[in-house]
A and B are shown apart, each in its own frame.
Chain A
C-alpha cells in the first residue's frame, strides 16, 4: 500500500531526471557517433562503435590548449576579484549603518535588472578608448563584482547572531579577524554556491568573449568550441559535441564537489 502511494512521486522524479539528464546524454552519445550516425532519421540512441577519436579530432582542430589557458585565467581572475569585492561590501551592508546605506544598496540591486546586452556597447567603446580590446582585462573587469553575490552574502551575514561578533570583539578580534575567522567560515555554503555560479557563468560565457575580441589571442574555450562548426564543409555535430563534452567536464566536477554546500546555502544557517 505504502509503495503504491509513493508511485506518483517516483514517476515525477523519473520524468524530471529524464528532462534534465537527456540533453547531457544526447551530447555525449552524439560525441561518440560517426558523422553519418548523427544525421540519420530516425536518430539512433546508441552508436554502433564508440568513436573516441572524435575527441582527439576536436582537440586538434582548434588551438584547444590556448583557449583553455585563456578560460582558466579569466575564470580564476573573476572568481578572486569577486570574492575580494563582494565580502567587504556584504559585510558593510549587513553590519553597519551609515549615511546612504539603503540608497547605495538599492542602486546595486537595480544593476541586477539591467541586461548585459544593454551595456556592452558603451563598455566596448570604453575599453576600446582605453586600448583594452583583445586584452584579458576587458573580459575580467566587467565581472569583478556581482550585485547578486553582494545580496546573497549580505543576507547570510545578517543571519549571524550579533552576540557572536560581540563575543569576538571581547576576544580582542578586529574587523578583519571577525570577517575571516567568524563570518566567512559560517558563510561557507553561500560562498561555495556563489563561486560555483560565477564559475559556471564565466566559464560558459559566449557572448562577451565573442563581442569584445576581434582575434584569437584572448578568446576562450566556448568561442573556440563554437568555431568547430565551421571546419570543412557542413556542421560536424559529432566533433562539436566532443568539444562540448570537454567544455562541461570541469563544471560537472566542480558541481559534484560543491553539491552539499549548495544545498546547505539554501537552508537555514544552522547552529546558533
Chain B
C-alpha cells in the first residue's frame, strides 16, 4: 500500500511568491493520478514536494502513512522520471540503471539479474553498453523508465515525461505506460499540461489552477460533470462553449441564479426534420471557419448568442458563410452560477 497524503500544504518561494496555498490531496494507493493544469498552476511544484526535491513552507506530506517532510529524496521509496530524462551522460545505459542499485548497496549478482530483467521489459537489452547520446528520444525515455523501475519503488513520479517525444512516439509510450501501471500495480503520480494525456491514462485526475485544486475526479466524471467553468473549458477539445446569461436571455428563459450556460461542441447537431421537439433547442447561425480533423470537422459558427464551436462527423459539408440550423438537447446544457461554479439542478 502506498497512499500519498498532502495536508494543508503551502509553498512560498524566497522572493515571497506563494504558488500553493493550503493544498489538501489524497492520492489513492495503486492509482494512476494525473496532476494537470496550465503552466504555473503548481502541479510540478506539488510533485517535487512529494519527491522531496522541494521543501514545503507549511503542511505535511505522508507516504504510506509515514510523515515524509524531513526524509531525504533517496529514502522515500519513490522513483522519478524527468521531462528531459536526466540520464547521466557519461555513464552507459547499464551504468545509468545500476547507479541507484550500487548506492543502495545491492549485491552485484542481484544487480546483474535486476538489470537483465528490466532491460528485457523495456526492450533495451542490446543497448546496455551504449551511452545515452547514442540513443533515440524514445530509447532514452525507456532508459529513464528502466532506471526508475529497477528500484522497485512504491511510488512512481513523472514530470511531463512524454513532452519531448514526437506525436507518434508519444501515443505509443502512452499505451506502454498504461500497461506498465497495470503490470506493476504501484501508485503513479504524473504531471502534464496536456488534458488528452490526462484523460487517456489516468484513473484519477487532479485539475489545478493557480495552486488550487479545481476538481479531483475520474476522467469520465471530470469530462461529463465538470464542477466549474475552468474545468469545463480545460478538459475536452475543442473546449466547452460558454455563453453568458445576457447573450442567451434573448433565446432561452433561465433560472435566476444561472450566470452562464455551457455545452460541448460535439453535442450540437446539424438540424434534421423532426428535431423541433420539447427536448431540443433549435437555433440558427452562419459558418465562420472550418477545421478539418479527418473523420470530424470543427466549425466556428456565429449565432445570436455569440460565436460557438461545433464538432460534427465529416458527412455534412458546410462552406464558409453558409447559413445553418442547429439543434442541441437541453439535457446536454450545463448551468453555472455567477461564481462560475456548476449548478446541479435544473437551469431552465
Residues in A lying within 8 Å of B, measured CB to CB: 161, 163-164, 166-173, 177, 181-182, 185-186, 188, 270-272
A186 to B79, CA, bound (A): 23
Q: Is B236 in contact with chain A by the CB < 8 A criterion? A: no
Given contacts A185-B90, A270-B89, A271-B89, contact A173 B74 (CB under 8 A): yes
Contact A177 B103 (CB under 8 A): yes
By a CB distance below 8 angstroms, the chain A residues around B79 are 170
A166 nearest CB neighbor, chain B only? B53
**Which residues of B81-129 have CB atoms within 8 Å of chain A's CB atoms?**
82-84, 86-91, 99-100, 103-104
Q: Is B51 in contact with chain A by the CB < 8 A criterion? A: yes
A173 to B102, CA, bound (A): 9
A171 to B51, CA, bound (A): 12
Contact B86 A166 (CB under 8 A): yes
Q: Is B226 in contact with chain A by the CB < 8 A criterion? A: no
Contact A181 B99 (CB under 8 A): yes
By a CB distance below 8 angstroms, the chain A residues around B296 are none
In the complex, how many angstroms separate the beta carbon of B15 from the nearest chain A beta carbon? Answer: 12
Contact A164 B73 (CB under 8 A): no
A-B CB contact pairs (8 Å), 25 listed: A163-B82, A163-B84, A166-B53, A166-B73, A166-B80, A167-B86, A167-B87, A167-B88, A168-B88, A170-B51, A170-B79, A171-B74, A171-B99, A171-B100, A171-B151, A172-B75, A172-B104, A173-B74, A182-B88, A182-B90, A185-B90, A270-B89, A271-B132, A271-B133, A272-B84
Q: Is B276 in contact with chain A by the CB < 8 A criterion? A: no
Residues in B lying within 8 Å of A, measured CB to CB: 51, 53, 72-75, 78-80, 82-84, 86-91, 99-100, 103-104, 131-133, 147, 151
A127 to B78, CA, bound (A): 55
A173 to B100, CA, bound (A): 8
Contact A172 B53 (CB under 8 A): no
Contact A166 B82 (CB under 8 A): yes
In the complex, how many angstroms separate the beta carbon of A159 from the nearest chain B beta carbon? Answer: 12
For A170, give its contact among B80, B84, B90, B133 (CB under 8 Å).
B80
B76 nearest CB neighbor, chain A only? A170
In the complex, how many angstroms separate the beta carbon of A178 from the nearest chain B beta carbon? Answer: 10
Nearest 7 CB-CB pairs, A to B? A172-B74, A171-B100, A163-B86, A185-B90, A172-B103, A167-B86, A271-B133
With a 10 A CB-CB cut-off, give which of B75, B91, B100 has the most chain A CB atoms: B100
A185 to B132, CA, bound (A): 14
A166 to B75, CA, bound (A): 13
Contact B72 A169 (CB under 8 A): yes
Contact A169 B82 (CB under 8 A): no
In the complex, how many angstroms separate the beta carbon of A265 from the nearest chain B beta carbon? Answer: 15
By a CB distance below 8 angstroms, the chain A residues around B99 are 168, 171, 173, 181
A182 to B72, CA, bound (A): 19
A13 to B159, CA, bound (A): 50
By a CB distance below 8 angstroms, the chain A residues around B74 are 169-173
Contact B51 A270 (CB under 8 A): no
A163 to B82, CA, bound (A): 7
Given contacts A170-B78, A172-B104, contact A161 B72 (CB under 8 A): no
In the complex, how many angstroms separate the beta carbon of B84 from the nearest chain A beta carbon? Answer: 6
For B86, give its contact among A164, A188, A270 (CB under 8 Å).
A164
For A161, give its contact among B86, B91, B151 (CB under 8 Å).
B86
In the complex, how many angstroms separate the beta carbon of A173 from the nearest chain B beta carbon? Answer: 5
Contact B84 A186 (CB under 8 A): no
Contact B80 A186 (CB under 8 A): no
Given contacts A173-B99, A270-B133, A271-B133, contact A167 B90 (CB under 8 A): no
A143 to B339, CA, bound (A): 69
By a CB distance below 8 angstroms, the chain A residues around B132 are 271
